[in-house]
Chain A
Amino acid sequence: QVQLQESGPGLVKPSQTLSLTCTVSGGSISSGSYYWSWIRQPAGKGLEWIGRIYTSGSTNYNPSLKSRVTISVDTSKNQFSLKLSSVTAADTAVYYCAISPYSSSAWFDPWGQGTLVTVSS
């Protein structure tokens, strides 16, 4: 059973770059079986998909964030990462990593527990 764990700074200054890592256990990120996604949720609000990466390095991003997002994969560490540049207070949220099956790619299961990132000076 694949498990996911997010990590990274909980506080980021405005205009800086938010960087998070998702560590995968119980499976190999190189298996080719999944897409690896980032999703966020501002406090008290709904869910927003940020983007995804496949083992090959192929990416898809939410058009609303595309200009600021980079998702990458490190197969040697069994991790994938999120970078979001030029952050503002509107980027304050709980950030989740999640996987979707390559065969259909249509749903997310499982999810990491989430990590809160606050953008503030």
Chain B
Amino acid sequence: EIVLTQSPGTLSLSPGERATLSCRASQSVSSSYLAWYQQKPGQAPRLLIYGASSRATGIPDRFSGSGSGTDFTLTISRLEPEDFAVYYCQQYGSSMYTFGQGTKLEIK
């Protein structure tokens, strides 16, 4: 089983700042099989990025994904008030899915 470790656990930033969230895998992950989600309290997760760098439908271009192998990054270029939430990375391989433990992005 591939373990995904997200860092930091909590990120405190102000609106307008740049956020950089990390996801590290215990083994190499195909870039095609790495996704990012946003989850707000009481809501289901929402797909942001798939294939490591492709934005899902309707996702603003301030969200971008990058990385390969074992190191992946979600970047929010300029934080809006609605971006403060929990973010999860997720990988697929060998007919199995695993998620990272999440990064909470909070208002400073």
Contact = CB atoms under 8 A, between A and B. Distances in A.
Contacts of B45: 47, 96, 108, 111
Contacts of A60: 95-96
Nearest to A108: B47
Interface residues of B, number: 25
Interface-centre pick from A63, A111, A112, A114 (highest chain B CB count, 10 A): A111
B97 A96 contact: no
Nearest to A64: B1
B38 to A, nearest CB: 12
Contacts of A109: 47, 50, 56
A49 B96 contact: yes
Contacts, number: 58
A107 B47 contact: yes
B97 A49 contact: yes
A108 B90 contact: yes
Given A46-B88, A105-B92, A106-B32, A111 B100 contact: no
Q: Which of A48, A62, A104, A106 has the most CB of B within 10 A?
A: A106
B44 A46 contact: no
A15 interface: no
B96 A47 contact: no
Nearest to A37: B97
A92 B82 CA distance: 29
Interface in B62-98: 88, 90, 92, 95-98
B14 interface: no
A113 interface: yes
A48 B92 CA distance: 13
A107 B90 contact: yes
A112 B44 contact: yes
Nearest to B44: A111
A106 B96 contact: no
A47 B44 contact: no
Given A46-B88, A46-B100, A49-B97, A106 B51 contact: yes
Contacts of B51: 104, 106
Interface of A: 37, 46-49, 60, 62-63, 96, 98, 100, 104-114
Given A46-B88, A111-B46, 4 more contacts: A106-B33, A108-B37, A109-B47, A113-B43
